[in-house]
Amino acid sequence: MSKLIVANWKMYLSPKNSVELFGAVGKKGEVVICPSFAALNQLSTLAKKSGIGLGAQDCFWTNRGAYTGEISPVDLKEIGCEYVIVGHSERRGYFQETDEMVGKKVKAALATGLIPILCVGENEFERKKGKAATHVVEQLKKTLTGLGKLRAGQEIIIAYEPVWAIGTGKACDPETAVEMHQLIKEKVAELIGVKNVRVLYGGSVNDKNIASYLEYAEIDGALVGGASTKKDIFASLLSIASKF
Ligand code: 13P
């Protein structure tokens, strides 16, 4: 299977800049772009034409109701999203999202026919204490337990994003990422019966280091933040990734 590159544009780009960048990217390999909510509608027509996948950066766990400011998974689906990132460490950190909340979002996304990209990863303290593996396994257990087996046609993607590597320029060394990816694949198989789930690496990925990750079979692609918002760097990253 080809490698998957998911761009998380976070809150870096305005809708106008998102349309410009999207137009400049061009499809190379399997690519999904997750712009800010405000840009999703405009990008959805472009995404359909280009064959680039479209994803949101979060969703709520219920489809309708009095939830001011939240985004319904069915609405994301209606405007053309196929993917949704859930449990990003910036949501967990700034908005106190717990594993329980993230688990409900995974369930809601799957029920709607969206492909959740579930983010897990340890912080610097946990890594230094030798607790990275335990922490990630705990996150998987708490978010996936109770999900049951996935139905035919349903898919889930996991993103291993060590918090200390996000936006810091201190990318995780590929061998360590491979160990974590193996562990994640084993646990996901055990918890929801999905064999060889796709696991993306995220955290300071750029065009200079992308190849060092993608050369490993355990690394199915990357979740790219900052580097995906810079036209030339992203184009070069995609061109490298498409050769794997
Ligand atoms: P950076 O690529 O900017 O480190 O961000 C990674 C990330 O959080 C993607 O979701």
pLDDT tens column, 33-44: 999 999 999 999
The pLDDT tens digits of the residues spanning 119-154 come to 999 999 999 999 999 999 999 999 998 898 888 889
Task: Decide if pLDDT at 25 tops 80.
Answer: yes
Can you give the pTM of this predicted structure?
0.97
b (16+ CB within 10 A) / e for 40-59: bebbbebbeebebbbbbbbb
In the numeric block, the tokens 């998974």 are attached to 73
| Res. 27: pLDDT tops 90 | no
Measured in residues, the chain has a length of: 244
> Where does residue 167 fall: left (phi above 0), alpha (psi -120 to 50 degrees), or beta otherwise?
left
Residue 237 CA: distances (Å) to CA of 62, 103, 228, 232, 240 = 36, 31, 8, 9, 5
Output the average pLDDT for the chain. 96
Interval between CA 3 and ligand 1 midpoint (Å): 17
Q: CA geometry: angle at 120 spanning 116 and 125, to 5°? A: 165
CA separation for the pair 178, 184 (Å, rounded):
10
239 is in an annotated binding site: no
Domain boundaries, the chain: 4-241
Q: Are 147 and 106 in contact (CB under 8 A)?
A: yes
> 155 CB contacts (<8 Å, ≥6 apart)?
115, 198
Residues β-bridged to residue 6: 32, 223
CA separation for the pair 123, 129 (Å, rounded) = 10
* Annotation says 181 is catalytic: no
Number of H helices, E strands in the chain: 10, 8
Whether 161 is catalytic is: yes
pLDDT digits (tens, 9 = 90+) for 214-227: 999 999 999 999 99
Instruction: List the beta bridge partners of residue 32.
Output: 6, 53
CB 33 within 8 A of CB 53: yes
CA-to-CA distance for 220 and 241, rounded, in angstroms?
Answer: 11
Q: Which of 30, 97, 126, 161 is catalytic?
A: 161
Specify the CATH number of the domain 4-241.
3.20.20.70
> Among the atoms of ligand 1, which is closest to the Cα of residue 171?
4
Q: Which residues line ligand 1 (CB under 6 A)?
A: 8, 88, 161, 166-167, 202-205, 223-227
